[in-house]
Amino acid sequence: MTKKVKKDLEDFEWTAAELKASKKINSLPKSLQQKIASRKTRGAQVAPTKISTTIRLSSEVVQSFKATGAGWQSKIDFALKQWLEEHTLV
């Protein structure tokens, strides 16, 4: 899915006519109901490589990385890894 399509989906709003014409999930075939139901939750990662944490950064740092676009948090991770390779922690 491209970013443009994803953006369009995030901004999508149902009209009253679309809501009225929509089908209820229990009116769909059982196989489709099961497929939709299985998408509701995401399983645990097999081998988690990252840890969720909270960190306070200066607004300049966050704005600079956000300005680079999608994946800005991964770019911060990469920058920190590079820093660790170049410096010794005591």
pTM beyond 0.85: the answer is no
DSSP assignment of 17-82, as one string? HHHHHPPPGGGS-HHHHHHHHHTSS-PPPSS-----------HHHHHHHHTT-TTHHHHHHHHHHH
49-58 residue pLDDT tens: 888 899 999 9
Confidence band, pLDDT 50/70/90 cuts, at residue 68? very high
Confidence band, pLDDT 50/70/90 cuts, at residue 42? low
